[in-house]
Amino acid sequence: MTPVLVTGGTGFIGSWCILALLDAGHIVRTTVRDLQREPALRSWLHEAAVFDDDRLTVVRADLQHPDGWDAAAADCEHVLHVASPTLRHTPTSDDDLVVPAREGVLRVLRAARDAGVRRTVLTSAFGAVGIGHPPRSTPFTEEDWTNTDADIPPYQRSKTLAERAAWRFIGEEGGGMELTAVHPVGVLGPLLGPDDPPSLRLVRRMLEGRVPACPPFGMGYVDVRDVADLHVRAMTDPAAAGERFLAVAGHSLRVVDIARILHDRLGERAAKAPTRELPVWLTRALATVNPELRLLKHQLGRDLDATGAKAEKLLGWKARPIEDTITDTAESLLAHGIGA
C-alpha cells in the first residue's frame, strides 16, 4: 500500500485527516515545519486512536521553501494538501497571506505531479466561494467564487487566488493528475491536542466572557471530524475528480444562536457567554477601532448561507448536527483548560 501524503499534519484539520486515514487503514506520511513537534503529534493521535507507529511517517517541509517536497510526495498515489499559511495576528497586507498561499499550493502540486500522484485534494474554504457578493436569499454553492475585485479580507483573498492558481496549474501543467477541492465553512469540533486553532477562537472567547455581545451576522459551521471524512471520500471516490465540495452542516447560524446553544447544553459552565446581539450600526462604529470587527464588515447584518447538498448527493457524505459539534467544541476547550 502506498502512503497518503497529508500536508500540515499538526494543524486542526490536518491532524483529524491523519486520524481518519489511519482509521481507514491507510499508511500516512505528513509534513510539519518543525520536526520537534512530531512527538506531540504522535501523542495526540495515540490518545484518540490505536494504531501502529510505523503506519505514520513525519517529514519536514515548509510551504515557503522548496526543500523536502519532492521527497514528501515520492511514492504517494494521493495527496491531501491541507496546510495553508494562517496568521495568529491581523495581517498588515494581502501579501502576508496571498503570496505564500499561492506559491505553497503550486509547490505541492508540482511535487505531486512529478511523483506521479493520481489525485490531490486541496483544502480550500468557504472564503473562496461566498465573499464579496451583494446580499442574496439563496445559499451559496460550489458554482460560486469569491469576488476578488471587491474589498475583501486578505485571508479570503488568499484562499481564492490559491485555488484559482491550483485549477489553472492542473489544466495547463498537471500532466493528468486529478484535483478536488474541499471548502469548509467555519470549522468547529474537539481538539486532538492543547493547540488553540483560530477557528475555535469565537467559542473560546465566549466561554471566557471576552465577547460582551454577539456581532450581528450568521454563517455556516461544520465539524472538523466531518471535514476529515469528506477529504477521505474526495480522495477515493471517482465522482470527486475535478469537483469542488462545500462542507457545511445544515444552514447558517447567527453568533447569538451559538451562544444560546452553549447556554442550553453547558448551563453554568457557559454562564459568561453573551445573550444579546449588537445592533449593526453599533458594530460598524466599533469596527472603526477594532481590527477584528473590521474584517467582518462585509458580513455584518447578513447570513452567509451555504449548502453541502453536492457532497451528500455525489459522495454520500453527511454532517452531524451542529448543536452536537458546538457542545463537543466547548467540552474539549474546557477539558484542555482553554476558555475556562
Q: Beta strand 221-223 with 178-184: parallel, antiparallel or unpaired? A: unpaired
- Angle, nearest 10°, between helix axes 224-236 and 12-23? 60
What CA–CA distance (Å, rounded) separates 326 from 330? Answer: 6
Phi/psi at 244 (5° precision): -110, 145
- Angle, nearest 10°, between helix axes 38-48 and 12-23? 50
- Selection from 187, 250, 215 nearest residue 14 by Cα: 187
Residue 155 in contact with residue 214, Cβ under 8 Å?
no
- Selection from 204, 187, 235 nearest residue 77 by Cα: 235
- Reading the block at residue 60, the C-alpha cell is 519536514
| E strands present in the chain | 4-7, 28-32, 56-60, 78-81, 119-123, 178-184, 186-188, 218-219, 221-223, 244-247, 253-254, 303-304
- 159 noted as active-site residue: yes
CA angle, residues 147, 149, 155, in degrees to nearest 5:
65
Contacts of 190 (CB under 8 A, 6+ apart): 224, 225, 328, 329, 331, 332
Residue 308 in contact with residue 249, Cβ under 8 Å?
yes
- What is each CA distance from 21 to 12, 13, 28, 70, 194, in whole angstroms? 15, 12, 7, 22, 22
- Reading the block at residue 314, the C-alpha cell is 455525489
Q: Which of 159, 310, 313, 318 is catalytic?
A: 159
Contacts of 137 (CB under 8 A, 6+ apart): none
Q: So which residues are the catalytic ones?
A: 159
